[in-house]
């Protein structure tokens, strides 16, 4: 699609026009895209510039197929966590209870090795089908994915996740459902619900520290810039309650949060969310502060 207004599709409800957007439904359609592009799932952890992006984006959220054979599950990159969590629970398979409140897609969750409530996406993963322009379509095992806290080989190499295979654990359905209810209750008290525009945790936890605790200690819950504000219930979330925040509002607020933690504790917070799009001079400077290597 040409000149696609992305705002309504982003979790933050922020973003301008993107020059070209593709929505492949399967691996063949994905491989037939010839443009230079950036790939995303459902933009659940991405801040898209309000000025848009002069380039091509591929969104894998239409890649929705799932195969369940016994305790083996194959899932396309675009299916979202809550949907897959419910599908496997219905056939008494455990391992995805933690995803019931996650807004992200499977591809993105694997790339960042998502985890919560004592479970991790890589726990029961066996292999991942990926794509790169150099290798084409290929597979890596769990060990070859180089999983670590909030990272995988996809952050080091230009690899794109297309689908994944898992071996889940047969379990009593009532126990699975109870865990999912408990996880949702935990999310309601610790994270914004999906109908309050947000991009998930803003900063990664520094080694040995909680980003949320550090931000709480510097009074971050009182901070806001334009339409963006720190969530009242957890200091490591920025929300867009009135749907009128800009990308510059969010970046400015992130810089303020980061600087206050550095000034008080000497700790450099690293963003967990991704930035995509055009930048004016001010946004360029803000991104240099936030995403410095």
Q: Where in the chain is the domain with CATH 3.30.465.10?
A: 66-190
Give the pLDDT band of residue 150 (cuts 50, 70, 90): confident
Percent of the chain predicted with pLDDT > 70: 99
Q: Are 175 and 100 in contact (CB under 8 A)?
A: no
Q: Where in the chain is the domain with CATH 3.30.43.10?
A: 2-59
Output the six-digit token pair for 97: 């209870």
Per-residue pLDDT reduced to its tens digit, 22-47: 999 999 999 999 889 999 988 988 99
Give the pLDDT band of residue 106 (cuts 50, 70, 90): very high
The CATH number that domain 66-190 falls under is 3.30.465.10
Give the pLDDT band of residue 255 (cuts 50, 70, 90): very high
Per-residue pLDDT reduced to its tens digit, 152-170: 999 899 899 999 999 999 9
Q: Mean pLDDT across the stretch 236-253? A: 97
Give the pLDDT band of residue 292 (cuts 50, 70, 90): confident
Q: Where in the chain is the domain with CATH 3.90.78.10?
A: 211-290
Residue 208 confidence (pLDDT) above 90? yes
The CATH number that domain 2-59 falls under is 3.30.43.10
Q: Are 60 and 79 in contact (CB under 8 A)?
A: no
Catalytic sites, residue numbers: 150, 201, 272
Q: Report the b/e string of 175-192 with b at 16+ CB within 10 A.
A: ebbebbeebeeebeeebb
Output the six-digit token pair for 35: 């443009």
Residue 293 confidence (pLDDT) above 70? no
Task: Go through the chain and tell me how many residues it has.
Answer: 293
| Residue 160 CB burial class (10 angstroms; 0-12, 13-18, ≥19) | buried
Residue 148 confidence (pLDDT) above 80? yes
- Within 91-200, residue ranges assigned H as helices are 106-111, 173-190
pLDDT attached to residue 193: 75
Give the number of other CB atoms < 10 A from CB of residue 285. Answer: 13
What CATH class does 211-290 carry? Answer: alpha beta
- Return mean pLDDT, the chain: 94
Q: Considering only 74-88, 91-105, 255-269, which range has the smallest mean pLDDT?
A: 91-105
Per-residue pLDDT reduced to its tens digit, 177-199: 999 999 988 888 788 877 899 99
Give the pLDDT band of residue 118 (cuts 50, 70, 90): confident
pLDDT attached to residue 287: 96
């Amino acid at each position: 699609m040409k000149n696609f207004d992305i705002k309504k599709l982003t979790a933050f409800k922020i973003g301008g026009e993107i020059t070209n957007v593709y929505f492949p439904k399967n691996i063949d359609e994905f491989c037939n895209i010839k443009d230079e592009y950036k790939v995303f799932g459902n933009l659940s952890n991405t801040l898209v510039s309000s000025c848009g992006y002069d380039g091509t984006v591929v969104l894998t959220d239409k890649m929705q197929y799932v195969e369940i054979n016994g305790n083996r599950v194959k899932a396309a990159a675009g299916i979202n966590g809550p949907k897959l969590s419910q599908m496997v629970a219905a056939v008494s398979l455990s391992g995805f209870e933690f995803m019931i409140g996650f807004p992200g897609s499977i591809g993105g969750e694997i790339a960042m090795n998502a985890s919560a409530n004592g479970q991790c996406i890589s726990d029961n993963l066996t292999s991942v089908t990926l794509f790169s322009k150099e290798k084409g379509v290929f597979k890596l095992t769990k060990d070859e994915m180089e999983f670590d806290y909030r990272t995988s080989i996809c952050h080091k190499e230009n690899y794109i996740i297309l689908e994944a295979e898992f071996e889940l654990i047969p379990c009593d359905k009532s126990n699975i459902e109870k865990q999912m209810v408990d996880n949702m209750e935990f999310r309601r008290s610790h994270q914004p619900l999906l109908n309050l525009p947000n991009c998930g945790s803003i900063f990664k936890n520094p080694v040995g520290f909680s980003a949320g605790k550090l931000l709480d200690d510097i009074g971050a819950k009182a901070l806001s810039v334009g339409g963006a504000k720190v969530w009242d219930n957890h200091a490591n979330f920025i929300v867009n309650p009135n749907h009128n925040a800009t990308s510059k509002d969010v970046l400015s607020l992130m810089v303020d949060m980061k600087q206050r933690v550095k000034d008080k504790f000497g700790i450099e917070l690293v963003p967990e969310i991704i930035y995509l799009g055009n930048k004016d001079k001010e946004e360029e400077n803000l991104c240099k502060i936030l995403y410095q290597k």
